[in-house]
Amino acid sequence: MHILEQKIRDANKKGRPALIPFVTAGFPNADDFWPAIKELDDNGADIIEIGVPFSDPVADGPVVEEASRRALSDGMTLKKLMADLKERGGFFKAGLVLMGYYNPFLQYGLEKFAADAKAANVCGVIIPDLPYEESGDVRALFRKHGLALIALVGLNTSAERMSLYASESEGYVYVISSMGTTGVREHIAPEVDETMMRARKCFSLPLALGFGLKEPAQLDELHKDARPDAVVFGSALLQHLDAGLPAADFLRRWL
């Protein structure tokens, strides 16, 4: 079992969904980013997704887009992030996942990135703009270094296409709860029930639900058979951190 799957299964045995906070690298600023990651790690995060800032984040809403802009302005790059991660290799209990667009990884060099990621104890990667049909070589390279290439599926992903991902995927599956970009939403779309149950039939891996989550009460809107194994929260957490509030306070409501 991949370590990311194990992290989620262990949380589920405790009677709760695994917690997967997302924070853009270098946000809210260079001084506070790593202390925020440490605080998340110390206060219940099972997996931490670190966003790689990019100048054209087409799938991201205004909060994550602004976080990327600020991080880039402050000098955060994938190269700097990898150097910082290698300095901190083994510091964190949570599984570490990098989420970013394909171009920065390609520019870094995929072979070098995979080797450096392994050295930094990174467990997985999410690349939203890398379609399944073009992912074979990347997936094989990452797997050689113990990195899971996390599948992304959404409301419009057919069972046939989910089955393609299921044949290759490791770690967990990221189920996108809306057709739009990232961002806080008050309610979960009714179509998420059917999407989650469709994914449950196709995947044996844990299902993580993201895009728009901010509080546990939102999960009450889902049918019991559609409840996720893990929850991902990004925009709401970024807003929380940007307001100068403790990361631990955000996680506490989910524990």
Average pLDDT, stretch 85-101? 94
Say what the pLDDT of residue 182 is. Answer: 47
Q: What residues form DSSP beta bridges with 48?
A: 96
* 49 counts as catalytic: yes
Exposure class string for 20-44: b at 16+ Cβ within 10 A, else e: bbbbbbbbbeeebbbebbebbbebb
| Options 60, 65, 84, 170, the catalytic residue | 60
Residue 214 lies in a domain: yes
What are the pLDDT digits (tens) for 214-252?
A: 888 889 989 988 999 999 998 899 999 999 999 999 999
Residue 255 lies in a domain: no
Could you tell me whether strands 230-233 and 18-24 are parallel, antiparallel, or unpaired per DSSP bridges?
parallel
Residue listed under structure tokens 């997302």? 22
Residue 253 lies in a domain: no
Residue 195 lies in a domain: yes
Residue 200 lies in a domain: yes
Q: What's CA 172's distance to the chain center, in Å?
A: 10
Q: In the chain, how many domains are there? A: 1
Domain that holds residue 63: 3-248
| Options 5, 49, 65, 229, the catalytic residue | 49
What CATH number has the domain bearing residue 202?
Answer: 3.20.20.70
pLDDT higher than 60, residue 179: no
Check: CB of residue 180 under 8 Å from CB of residue 203: no
* DSSP 8-state class, residue 26: T
Percent of the chain with pLDDT over 70: 95
Per-residue pLDDT band for 181 (boundaries 50, 70, 90) equals very low
Residue 111 lies in a domain: yes
* 133 counts as catalytic: no
Check: CB of residue 9 under 8 Å from CB of residue 215: no
* pTM listed for this prediction: 0.94
What are the pLDDT digits (tens) for 41-58?
A: 999 999 999 999 988 766
Which ranges of 146-246 does DSSP label H, i.e. alpha helix?
159-166, 191-202, 235-242
Say what the pLDDT of residue 183 is. Answer: 41
Residue 104 lies in a domain: yes
